Structure 1
Amino acid sequence: MNVGAGRRFRSPKAILFDLDGTLVDSAPDITAAVNELLAGRDLPPLRLDQVKAMIGGGIRKLVERAFAASGTPLGSALDEANRVMAPIYRRHLTGRTRLMPGVREALTHLHLSGIAMGVVTNKPQLAAREILLHFGLTDYLGAIVGGDAVTYLKPAPDALLLALDQLQVEPRDTLMVGDSSADVAAARAASMAVILLRGGYSQIPVEELGADLVCDSLFDLPSAMQTLQDAA
C-alpha cells in the first residue's frame, strides 16, 4: 500500500465505490457491446485492451472513442450512434462481467461494521443496478447513482454529492474508493478522502493520481483505512 501525505483522515461513516474497474471487471462485456456496434457499420472489431483504455466518461464518450479508434470519427453522427448503442449496451451487462477481487468480502465486512455504502458511476443507472442485482450486492448499498442521474459526470462531484444526500452523510465523513483520475478529481471536488485500487482501467499508474492511498485490491481496504487513520 502506498500512502499519500498531508491529508487528515478519520474513520468514515460512509464509503462510495466506483463500479467499472473497482467493483466489477466489465471490460469484456463493454468490448462485446462496442464490437457489435462497430459490426453494424462494417467496421473491424477492437481488442479488449483497446476498449479498456476507452472506459470512463459514460457511453457517449465510449462510442466516440471507439469510432475514432476505428478511423471513422463520427462528428455530427455521434447522437445517432449513441442511440443505436443504448440497447446494444443493455444486452451486454452481465454475460462476461466478473467481480473484482475482494468485493464481496469487503462489502460484508463494512456492512457488519455499520458503514453506509453507495455506488457512483458514469454508467447509466439502470445498467448499474442490473449488474449489482446480478451479483447480489444491492442489499449492501444505500445509494446507487448513475451518470444519467446527474447533469455532470465524474470528474465532477455531482454523483458523489447526490449519493451522500441519499445516505444522509457529510463529505467529511466519507471515503471514495475507485480506480481512476476521475474518481480522485470527483472526491477532491467533494472534499472527500480517496483510495485507489490497482488493476482497474486507469491508463496512468494509479500511484501518480494523487490519492490518499493506493492498494492492491478490496481485500486490503480495511487495513488501508486503518493505515490512513494511523497516519493522520
Structure 2
Amino acid sequence: MTASRIALIFDLDGTLIDSAPDLHLATNLVLRDEGLPEITFEQTRSFIGKGASNLISRVMAAVGLGDDPDDHARLLSKFMAHYEGEPANTVLYPGVADALARLEAAAHPMGLCTNKPDAPTRIALRHFGLDRFMRTVASGDTLPQRKPDPAPLQHVARALGASRALYIGDSEVDAETARRAGLPFALYTEGYRKTPVSELYHTYVFDHFDQLPDIVARHGASVEA
C-alpha cells in the first residue's frame, strides 16, 4: 500500500445507514407482545451504539422491567427474530454510495467495524449493495470484545493490511474506540451522537458524505508530508 492509500474503516448504524426506524419497530413489537409499554423513537435512537444486547438492557430499564437475565435473554431472542429480516425502513445516508464508489476508485481498501450482530449486518450490507466495498467485517459477535474496546477496530485494520488507517463513525462509542486504538477519526455529525462535537475525540468532522473523499485525500497528503 502506498502512503496515499489509506485503509478506511467504517461504522454502520448512524454512519452508513440510518437503521433507527427498524430498530424502533422491532423493539416495540417485542414490548407489545410482552404487554409492556412501548418506547419512543427518540428513546430507541439514544440506545443505539453498543449492540443489541445493550439496547435490550436499556429498553428493560426504560420500561421498569429490571435486569433479570432470563427476561433479557427472552426479549433479545424476540428482538432478533423481528430484526434479522430485510430492512424495511432503514435508509442509506445521503451520498454514501457515491462516496464509497469514489474511494474504491482511488484504491483505498475498506472495511467495517460495528457492534451490530453479524446476521443483520450482512443482510444490511447486501441489501444496500455495500458488501462489495467491504473487504473485511468485524461485527458485534466477531470477537469477544466489542467497541469501545479497540480490539475489533484493530482486527479490521490488521485484516486490511493497513499501515495507515482512518476510522469513520458517528457516535461517542466510535470516538472512544478510535482514541483507544490510536487511530485518526472522521466524525459524521448527522448520526446518533448526543455529545457536542467539541467534547469528542476527532481528527475530521463532516456532515455529508460528499465531503469524505476530500477528507481522505487531505489525510493521505498529510501522512505523506
TM-score (structure 1 length as normaliser): 0.88
Q: Distance in 2 between matches of 1:121 and 1:59?
A: 11
Equivalent residue, structure 1, for 2:167: 176
CA 1:218–1:149: 2 relative to 1, 3 Å: same
CA 1:23–1:56: 2 relative to 1, 3 Å: same
Instruction: Output one character per residue of 1:74-95: Cα deviation in whole Å (capped at 9) or x when no partner.
Output: 333323322332212213x510
CA 1:80–1:149: 2 relative to 1, 3 Å: same
CA displacement at 1:27 relative to structure 2: 0.2
Matched, 1:215 2:209: no
Equivalent residue, structure 2, for 1:86: 80
1:150-161 matched pairs, under 5 angstroms = 150-161=143-154
Q: Distance in 2 between matches of 1:194 and 1:67?
A: 32
Equivalent residue, structure 1, for 2:97: 104
Equivalent residue, structure 2, for 1:189: 180
SS of corresponding position for 1:142? strand
Structure 1 range deviating more: 130-139 or 78-87: 78-87
CA displacement at 1:102 relative to structure 2: 1.2
Q: Is the contact between residue 5 and residue 107 of structure 2 (CA under 8 Å) also seen in structure 1?
A: no
SS of corresponding position for 2:141? helix
CA displacement at 1:12 relative to structure 2: 4.8
Structure 1 range deviating more: 220-229 or 206-215: 220-229
Code of the aligned partner of 2:60: F
| Unpaired stretches in structure 1, ≥5 consecutive residues | 1-9
Equivalent residue, structure 2, for 1:33: 26
Equivalent residue, structure 1, for 2:137: 144
Q: CA RMSD in A?
A: 1.7
- Count of aligned pairs: 220
Identity of aligned residues (%): 34
1:44-83 matched pairs, under 5 angstroms = 44-76=37-69, 77-83=71-77
Code of the aligned partner of 1:147: G
| Unpaired stretches in structure 2, ≥5 consecutive residues | none
Q: Distance in 2 between matches of 1:98 and 1:65?
A: 24
Q: Distance in 2 between matches of 1:42 and 1:26?
A: 25
